[in-house]
Amino acid sequence: MNKIFVIGDVHGCDRALDELLDKVVPSITDTMVFLGDYIDRGPASRQVVDKILALNTRLSRLITLMGNHEQMFLRYLTGQERDLYLEIGGLQTLESYGIENPKDGFPQIPTTHLHFFKELLTYWEDENYIYVHAGLQPGVHLSRQSPDWLLWARDGDNVEDNSFGKTIIYGHTVHKGPLVTPNKIGIDTGAVYGGHLTCLVLPDLKFISVRGKRFWPINFNNS
């Protein structure tokens, strides 16, 4: 049976990502899903994106979702919410792209990286699961969900019923360890805050984790 490997929020922690990928061994027919927040706060956002792009050369299906930090990065590049983006960890991303002083101008992002950020999906689903960065708005069809919910909701969607008919797998909300309930699974385990970077293996419901390094003080209200 083919497997699905789902990886939580990386936040510029390239060494943790390297260590995790060393433990994750997908076959050519398996699927790998990233839940977003590749960038910000950690020291190596550019390197993380490079590593994810390189996975395309050896995986038949790589699914990359958008996180709220990628959304804010794209807004920053168009001149929106610049100060706010820097406050939530964007400065570390700019430094990884060689920009030490953001007042000097907008960073020159490689074309391949710009394409990566702009083409990120807001959700993905298969027969059994819905994959999303943050959560879903209860009672709203998946095709009509707003980015505010998909990228910014807390704790999956804060709903314990089975209104979507599938298990929701999400990141964004930091848990000390993977959170598993009958209807949702949260796998942001705070790598950039000194916690772990976690991969969920399906259908086994197995977790593979590596220790991160604390680059940012945890703030549960602004992950």
Distance between CA atoms of residues 3 and 107, nearest Å: 38
Flag whether 55 is in a domain.
Answer: yes
Flag whether 74 is in a domain.
Answer: yes
pLDDT band (50, 70, 90) for residue 34: very high
pLDDT band (50, 70, 90) for residue 223: low
Flag whether 220 is in a domain.
Answer: no
Count the domains in the chain: 1
Could you tell me which of 185, 191, 122, 116 has the C-alpha nearest to residue 152? 122
Domain extent for 110: 4-211
Whether residue 100 has pLDDT greater than 90:
no
Flag whether 150 is in a domain.
Answer: yes
pLDDT band (50, 70, 90) for residue 56: confident
CB of 106 within 8 A of CB of 77? yes
Distance between CA atoms of residues 85 and 89, nearest Å: 7
pLDDT at 218: 75
Q: What is the CATH number of the domain that holds 113?
A: 3.60.21.10
Encoding tokens for residue 92? Answer: 């570390």
Flag whether 124 is in a domain.
Answer: yes
CB of 188 within 8 A of CB of 173? yes
The count of C-alpha atoms lying within 13 angstroms of the C-alpha of 128, restricted to the half-sphere facing its C-beta, is 8
pLDDT band (50, 70, 90) for residue 195: very high
Whether residue 113 has pLDDT greater than 80:
yes
pLDDT band (50, 70, 90) for residue 25: confident
Give the phi and the psi of residue 5 in degrees, each rounded to 5.
-110, 120
CB of 119 within 8 A of CB of 97? no
Encoding tokens for residue 61? Answer: 């299906």
pLDDT band (50, 70, 90) for residue 57: confident
In this prediction, residues 114-129 reach a mean pLDDT of: 97
Interacting residues of 35 by C-beta distance below 8 A, sequence separation 6+: 6, 7, 8, 9, 65, 67, 131, 132, 133, 169, 170, 171, 172, 187, 188
Higher pLDDT pick, 56 / 7: 7
pTM, full prediction? 0.94
Flag whether 144 is in a domain.
Answer: yes
pLDDT at 76: 93
pLDDT at 99: 84
Flag whether 21 is in a domain.
Answer: yes
In whole angstroms, how far apart are CA 177 and each of 40, 117, 188?
Answer: 21, 28, 8
Whether residue 91 has pLDDT greater than 70:
yes
pLDDT at 121: 98
pLDDT at 105: 64
Flag whether 219 is in a domain.
Answer: no
Distance between CA atoms of residues 22 and 20, nearest Å: 5
In this prediction, residues 51-70 reach a mean pLDDT of: 94
Distance between CA atoms of residues 106 and 119, nearest Å: 20
Encoding tokens for residue 110? Answer: 């490689």
